[in-house]
Amino acid sequence: MTERLKNHLAGQWQAGTGTGVTLYDPVLGTPLVEVDATGLDLQRGFAFARSQAGPALRAKTYQERGAMLSKIATVLQSHRDRYYEISTANSGTVKNDTAVDVDGGIYTLSTYARLGEQLGARRLLLDGEAAKLGKDPLFQSQHILSPRTGLALFINAFNFPSWGLWEKAAPALLSGVPVVVKPATATAWLTHQMVQDVIAAEILPPGALSIVCGSSAGLLDALTPFDVLSFTGSAQTGALIRSHRAVTEHSVRVNIEADSLNSALLIPGAAEDAETLDLLAKEVSREMTVKSGQKCTAIRRVFVPEALYDKAAQAIGARLQKTTVGNPRNETVRMGSLVSREQYQAVVDGIGRLSAQAELLFDGRTAPLVDADPAVACCVGPVLLGCRDPEGRPLVHDLEVFGPVATLMPYKSLTQVTALIARGQGSLVTSVYGKDPAALAEAATSVAAYHGRVHVISPDVASLQTGHGNVMPQSIHGGPGRAGGGEELGGLRALQFYHQRTALQASTEVLAAL
């Protein structure tokens, strides 16, 4: 019998009363744990978070809440080895990939802990300067930010069970808003273990951190007007969430991070430069293979000047060739598996659909898996496709295959490639490669409006740059259009989602008393 993970609601651990869903090891196919959210009193649990944890959190200053985040980071750090084991077992990740999730989460918490320290012993934030409302300067308008009085519900994706929680929870808790997380079922175990460890450490007031594992049924129905909802997942589920009554009738504030056809662009004029081509090839192959391509920020489309199409295909293929795929417990393996049989099938089907509009430039599926049974393990070798007619093949700009897959495309001019990149209908990130600062700046600004982040890689920052797909807490994460239209992180900017902005119109004496 596998262990059934309990849910934590209303400050108590509670088991679901249904049949439960089993989580599996995607490499070995063995059952791990069960989750179940049947029969939970969500309304009561949410009310407890709002009425008990909210006031307790908001009674503290930003500095004190920052100190809590710091303690949470310390607790997580002390259990790190266990998290690595769970991630390998439940997500099929090699150590480097686990680090992106586990250590990335701890780093983000620590960053917000420092920001809390900087905000100091206050309970309210000012937004901008006061502005005169008439000729007499006595009566002015000052915008203030006060913590929302509801809770923050996070509905998360399967690919980042650790970082996906902490990148949202850090700014929420720093703002004084209690958190309820519903991790994606397939990989819920790691989120659950982390929440359990943090609750056991008694750092947060009761109800400040709750977890519901299993079905999402009823979660949105339990939201009320001052709550916020942050969703990460597919555009399809995002659309369902946006049309839910909680959002349409109660104006629950919602942030959506969804699919994205991110690109990499070798800029015009870089054509004869082997160094920048190599930087592009290195980053593309890394982005395709880190977490088996299951990163919302991973490079899916690669644009190079048309004269470089063949060279780029060779350079990327040569790097992908070195990727050993299989059981992440084997030290020689560089890339583990996809998270589930369902994802494996979706990636296989996606490659099939894209192949109808593209040529196969590199096929890592032909190499044998290391220490893994291909009939059981959800492993797919990296696949580089090529499309010589990016104008006439809509699917390459539209189908996000959530695995180790990218499509190389040639272009003729910056104007043309900007239009091609825009056909992704809004993406999280693009990376731009070249040497000439003015040309890089021109290309970066040309595509900026279609992205939440533009990552520029030139030889001088080659060893410093933080990675196309790595989401740094200092920069915003989110993208327009298809990417969900959301915005997270970006240092203190993240706190705005968890605060109400109010224009306070009063005498300068009242405003000074703030």
Q: Does 296 bind ligand NAP (CB under 6 A)?
A: yes
H, E, C per residue of 311-329: HHHHHHHHHHCCCCEECCC
Location of structure tokens 């695995």? 403
Nearer to ligand NAP (CB atom), residue 188 or residue 313 = 188
Q: Does 59 bind ligand NAP (CB under 6 A)?
A: no
CB 418 within 8 Å of CB 307: no
Rounded to whole angstroms, how far apart are CA atoms 315 and 318? 5
Q: Does 162 bind ligand NAP (CB under 6 A)?
A: no
Minimum gap (Å) between residue 233 Cβ and ligand NAP? 3
Confirm whether 257 is a catalytic residue: yes
- For 427, list phi and psi in degrees, rounded to 5: -130, 165
Minimum gap (Å) between residue 168 Cβ and ligand NAP? 10
User: What residues contact 170, with CB distance under 8 A and at least 6 apart?
Assistant: 69, 108, 109, 111, 112, 113, 473, 494
Q: Does 400 bind ligand NAP (CB under 6 A)?
A: yes
Q: Which residue is nearest to ligand NAP (CB)?
A: 233
Rounded to whole angstroms, how far apart are CA atoms 366 and 369? 9
Q: What is the DSSP string of 392-442?
A: T-GGGGT----SSEEEEEEES-HHHHHHHHHTTSSEEEEEEE-S-HHHHHH
Which of 24, 83, 158, 362 forms a contact with ligand NAP (CB under 6 A)? 158
CB 396 within 8 Å of CB 407: yes
Site string for ligand NAP, 470-489 (x = CB under 6 A): --------------x-----
Span 332-391, contacts to ligand NAP by CB under 6 A: none
- Planar angle of CA 475, 476, 482, nearest 5 degrees: 145
333 closest CA partner among 80, 29, 89, 95: 95
Q: Does 36 bind ligand NAP (CB under 6 A)?
A: no
Q: Does 498 bind ligand NAP (CB under 6 A)?
A: no
Which of 48, 163, 309, 402 forms a contact with ligand NAP (CB under 6 A)? 402
CB 197 within 8 Å of CB 18: no
Minimum gap (Å) between residue 216 Cβ and ligand NAP? 3
Terminal CA-CA length for the chain: 58
Q: Does 167 bind ligand NAP (CB under 6 A)?
A: no
Q: Does 88 bind ligand NAP (CB under 6 A)?
A: no
Nearer to ligand NAP (CB atom), residue 8 or residue 319 = 8
Exposed / middle / buried, residue 229 (Cβ in 10 Å: 0-12, 13-18, 19+): buried
Rounded to whole angstroms, how far apart are CA atoms 227 and 177? 9
What beta strand segments (E) does 158-221 contain? Answer: 179-182, 209-211
Which of 98, 110, 159, 458 forms a contact with ligand NAP (CB under 6 A)? 159
Nearer to ligand NAP (CB atom), residue 53 or residue 241 = 241
Minimum gap (Å) between residue 428 Cβ and ligand NAP? 6
- Segment interacting with ligand NAP (CB under 6 A) among 123-131, 226-234, 360-368, 408-416: 226-234
Instruction: Please count the other Cβ atoms lying within 10 Å of the Cβ belonging to residue 208.
Output: 27
Q: Does 240 bind ligand NAP (CB under 6 A)?
A: yes
Sign of CA dihedral 202, 207, 209, 215: positive
- Segment interacting with ligand NAP (CB under 6 A) among 235-243, 301-309, 321-329, 412-420: 235-243
By CB under 6 A, the count of residues binding ligand NAP is 24
Q: Does 262 bind ligand NAP (CB under 6 A)?
A: no
Minimum gap (Å) between residue 489 Cβ and ligand NAP? 10
Minimum gap (Å) between residue 277 Cβ and ligand NAP? 28
Alpha carbons within 13 angstroms on the beta-carbon side of residue 318 total: 11
Indicate the SS3 state at residue 186.
Answer: helix
Copy the structure tokens of residue 379: 């492993």
Which of 9, 10, 258, 409 forms a contact with ligand NAP (CB under 6 A)? 258
Confirm whether 487 is a catalytic residue: no
CB 204 within 8 Å of CB 58: no
Site string for ligand NAP, 171-200 (x = CB under 6 A): -----------x-xx---------------
Candidates 34, 167, 213, 257; catalytic one: 257
Nearer to ligand NAP (CB atom), residue 125 or residue 241 = 241
Q: Does 259 bind ligand NAP (CB under 6 A)?
A: yes
Indicate the SS3 state at residue 226.
Answer: coil
Minimum gap (Å) between residue 427 Cβ and ligand NAP? 10
Nearer to ligand NAP (CB atom), residue 184 or residue 457 = 184
Which of 45, 105, 178, 233 forms a contact with ligand NAP (CB under 6 A)? 233
Candidates 167, 283, 287, 296; catalytic one: 296
Rounded to whole angstroms, how far apart are CA atoms 281 and 266? 10
Minimum gap (Å) between residue 156 Cβ and ligand NAP? 5
Q: Does 112 bind ligand NAP (CB under 6 A)?
A: no
Minimum gap (Å) between residue 155 Cβ and ligand NAP? 5
Exposed / middle / buried, residue 331 (Cβ in 10 Å: 0-12, 13-18, 19+): exposed
Q: Does 425 bind ligand NAP (CB under 6 A)?
A: no
Nearer to ligand NAP (CB atom), residue 254 or residue 387 = 254
Which positions are annotated as active-site residues? Answer: 257, 296
Return residues touching ligand NAP (CB under 6 A). Answer: 155-159, 182, 184-185, 216, 232-234, 237, 240-241, 257-260, 296, 400, 402, 428, 484
